[in-house]
Amino acid sequence: QARLTESGGGVVQAGESLTLSCVTSGASFSGYAMGWSRQAPGKEREFVAAIRWTESSVYYADSVKGRFTISRDKPNNAIHLQMNDLKPDDTAVYYCSADGVPAAIMRGQSRFWGQGTQVTVSP
């Protein structure tokens, strides 16, 4: 059974950094785009970043451009999200997802989803 497992969340202060990881298992995600979305309390889930399987293109929400970097770790069947200069507004549950195309991830319509990892940024 295809599975996405996130890790790396935690509690940090504003300005600090965190790296999230998402490991795939149970099926091959070769050829899939993968990405991250987040959901803050009382808000709808929103797109954060996505990357094509070929790594030829990456996509970011305007709110994280210049601060977050998504990368693919093919040998370990994983993706990572390096988050720098974190802000209290980045507090959310971060979800990893996978789909055939980045557009589905950006629309929040990914085929596969992880359970999420909590990121809390204090002022």
pLDDT band at 69 (very low <50, low <70, confident <90, very high): very high
Q: Which helix (H) or strand (E) holds 115?
A: none
Q: Going by DSSP bridges, is the β-strand pair 10-13/117-122 parallel, antiparallel, or unpaired?
A: parallel
Q: How far is residue 3's CA from residue 12's CA, in Å, rounded to a whole number?
A: 27
Burial 81-105 (b: 16+ CB within 10 A, else e): bebeebeeebbbbbbbbbbeebebb
> Does 55 score more than 80 pLDDT?
no
pLDDT band at 74 (very low <50, low <70, confident <90, very high): confident
> Does 56 score more than 80 pLDDT?
no
pLDDT band at 78 (very low <50, low <70, confident <90, very high): very high
pLDDT band at 30 (very low <50, low <70, confident <90, very high): confident
Read off the pLDDT of each residue in 22-45 and give the average, rounded to a whole number: 94
